[in-house]
Amino acid sequence: MDLRAQLSMSFHMDKCIGCHTCSVSCKNVWTSRRGAEYMWWNNVETKPGAGYPLTWEDQERYRGGWEVSGGSLRLKLLKGPGKIRTLANIFFQPNLPTIDDYYEPFTYDYQNLFNAPAGDDQPTARPRSLITGEFMEKIALGPNWDDDMGGSPLYASNDPNLKGLSESQKELLTKFHKLFFFYLPRICNHCLNPACVASCPSGAIYKRGEDGIVLIDQDTCRAWRFCVSACPYKKPYYNWANGKSEKCIFCYPRTETGQANACAHACTGRIRFVGVLFYDADRIEEVAKTPDERLVDAMRDIVLDPNDPRVIEEARKQGIDENWIVAAQNSPSYNLFKKWRIAMPNHPEFRTLPMNFYVPPLSPVLHNAKAENGGVFDSESVEFFNSIDKMRIPVRYLANMLSAGNEQVVIESLKKQMAVRLWVRQQRVGDIGDSAAKAALSAVGLTPEEAFEIYKLVSLATFQERFVIPETHRETMTTVDPRLMYEKRGTVGFGNKRQELVSRQW
């Protein structure tokens, strides 16, 4: 066993209101620079929707992620055996998205509002490209262009997750009384089997052993851009101005000191949870090769139980600090993903073993059941248990998005959430009936204690319960050789050149 720690974020999609506060706080902290204007390390997509960049989930087009071929795991990008194909395409990448798949970053000519000469018409602020500085005829695309299903026949109808849905189910895009959408907040998944790392010819991208955060070494990056093509989630972005790739850094300067990520901290809906997972790195390849229908279960298997004495012993052997072990035992990500089995990864079929998990949205079940029954929802019945197949967001759609097509995984999560709702309603309102609520719980294999824990975490949890982020003990792993500390006083962080100048003595 090769036990390692991984920081992981989970999202409760039912609670996401699509306010984009996360995206804005991320942008303010990290990407408000030239060349990075179009980068949204954190973005929120309306689902069904085309996403950002457009149709990123369509791997027939972008060829991101991995595929199993002849029993071995290989990058989809390579199309043939061996890595030589990567180098053959080094001068021109056929699968690289261009800025037109994102949007041309723009500002407005605000000065014209002040400086325009007097005239008959109100002065306007015309859009101006942030790349060329020229005026733009019109803005053709932007972040969240199809927000809240705007233009969905044009954009959302290309959503790859709609495959396998019946025509009447697809009416959720167009028929007003069937209309429904929800939000998918996305950051880099900090995968266990990252395709960006595997595709980088320079070896500039790496996964940090201590916390699993995937980073790009900007000094080593040589702008080959294979990470952009290979990542199925399109989360590495190419900085067109300085010629380097950049990506979500999981706010490591914050998490190292135990603070929540900028996006998670800002989340108004409190939908985000951050915690530590322990996993067995020896099994990554085996799990990544698992057939689609068992993929989510295999991913739950690779995550280890932090309360198991053998796992704790192994963690200590690997030099993992005590506060990390305690954090892993209180990890909301572990509870949601593995213990309660209500969260699942986004597109596990890309086989990168993504480490962010999503609790699928439940609300539309109730709503649609009401519409289908043509009357007032009867809170005393457990009817909607059986109407999960009639919900507005079809289970098929959620399964395409969250469980590699395995509907059972999604249904299990939805039923559990429903049972918890019934049980809590019985506790607080008391109109369900104790036996009915208990029966609902036992039908999905939950105890009242577990149901209360789930309810507490997803509804009442405090900041400290949602973000269990252990501090990294930087004081014991200084980046400066302790023997040189005296010589380097006052110069640390300024690089070699500066140190030489300052430490020169006569």
Partner 1 sequence: MDKVLFGVMPYILLMTAIVGAIWRFKSNKYTWSSQSSQFLENKTLFFGSFPWHYGIITLLLGHILGLFIPKSFVLWNAVPLRLYILELTALALGFLALFGLLALIYRRLTNSRVKAVTSGWDVLVLIILLIQVVTGIGNAILYRWGSNWYVATAVPWMWSILKLQPNVDFVANLPLITKTHIFNALLFIGLIPFSRLAHFVVINPYKYLVRPYQVVRWYRKGGPTVNIVSYK
> Interface with partner 1 by CB under 8 A: which residues?
75, 83-84, 86-87, 90-93, 96-99, 131-134, 193-194, 197-198, 200-203, 205-210, 217-225, 228, 238, 240-244, 284, 319, 476-477, 479-484, 495-497
CB 77 within 8 Å of CB 201 = no
Provide the minimum distance between the beta carbon of 181 and partner 1 in the complex, in angstroms, as a whole number: 30
Provide the minimum distance between the beta carbon of 98 and partner 1 in the complex, in angstroms, as a whole number: 5
Q: Which is nearer to partner 1, 55 or 400 (CB)?
A: 55
Provide the minimum distance between the beta carbon of 141 and partner 1 in the complex, in angstroms, as a whole number: 15
Q: Which is nearer to partner 1, 483 or 504 (CB)?
A: 483
Q: Which is nearer to partner 1, 19 or 99 (CB)?
A: 99
Q: Which is nearer to partner 1, 108 or 135 (CB)?
A: 135
Provide the minimum distance between the beta carbon of 92 and partner 1 in the complex, in angstroms, as a whole number: 5
d(CA 71, CA 166): 33
Provide the minimum distance between the beta carbon of 223 and partner 1 in the complex, in angstroms, as a whole number: 5
Handedness of CA 107, 110, 115, 116 (dihedral sign): positive
CB 392 within 8 Å of CB 177 = no
Q: Which is nearer to partner 1, 119 or 495 (CB)?
A: 495
Q: Which is nearer to partner 1, 287 or 343 (CB)?
A: 287
Provide the minimum distance between the beta carbon of 480 and partner 1 in the complex, in angstroms, as a whole number: 7
Q: Which is nearer to partner 1, 240 or 452 (CB)?
A: 240
Residue 501 parent element (H or E): helix 495-503
Residue 68 parent element (H or E): strand 66-69
d(CA 308, CA 310): 5
Provide the minimum distance between the beta carbon of 87 and partner 1 in the complex, in angstroms, as a whole number: 6
Q: Which is nearer to partner 1, 497 or 504 (CB)?
A: 497
Question: How far, CA to CA in Å, does 9 sit from each of 95, 108, 190, 468?
Answer: 29, 36, 10, 10
End-to-end CA distance of the chain: 54
Instruction: Report residue 56: phi and psi, to 5°.
Output: -60, -25
d(CA 45, CA 56): 11
Provide the minimum distance between the beta carbon of 147 and partner 1 in the complex, in angstroms, as a whole number: 24
CB 366 within 8 Å of CB 303 = no
Provide the minimum distance between the beta carbon of 253 and partner 1 in the complex, in angstroms, as a whole number: 13
Q: Which is nearer to partner 1, 217 or 308 (CB)?
A: 217
CB burial string 93-112: b at 16+ within 10 A, e below: bebebeeebbbbbbeeeeee
d(CA 416, CA 393): 17
Q: Other C-beta atoms within 10 Å of 417: how many?
A: 24
CB 9 within 8 Å of CB 261 = yes
Instruction: Report residue 380: phi and psi, to 5°.
Output: -85, -15
Nearest Cα neighbor of 384 from 422, 425, 353 is 422
